Structure 1
């Protein structure tokens, strides 16, 4: 199954590692280090010009998504039921 992350970005649910609320980026030193390392490795993608509400981690890339983590989780749950 595939999950729509916002804009024109869709990823395979098999690639999905984690979905975080954007607030984790500011609240944890480890998450800040993770985001910094992904930015330096050019593996971070801003999906749209809208304000990011969640961080989606896949096997290869990290995405800033304009869709909330709660909505993305619901989409994942819906696809798992099918």
Structure 2
């Protein structure tokens, strides 16, 4: 199934490695270092400050959608798969 993460971008749920909230991403030196080292793969989907970071096998997305909302969407997808 696919999850809408903002700006008309849908990604496959099975490709998602991690979804981080804004506070975790901004307060963790490890996440900050990770984002800097993968700067070429970061795709910003928002004009405003991002609300979540979605890490996939191919890219890292800065999303305007909160991590809680993305979690709810992924749970709804799981229910509808069966």
Is residue 74 from structure 1 mapped to residue 72 from structure 2 by the alignment?
yes
Given candidates 44, 47, 69, the residue that maps to 2:45 is: 47
Structure 1 residue aligned with 2:18: 18
TM-score, normalised via structure 2 length: 0.91
Which consecutive unaligned segments of at least 5 residues does structure 1 have?
Answer: none
Output the aligned Cα RMSD: 0.9
Distance across 1 between alignment mates of 2:12 and 2:48:
22
- Moved segments of 4+, more than 2 Å: none
Which consecutive unaligned segments of at least 5 residues does structure 2 have?
Answer: none
Aligned residue pairs total 80
- Find the residue that maps to 2:14 and give its secondary structure: coil
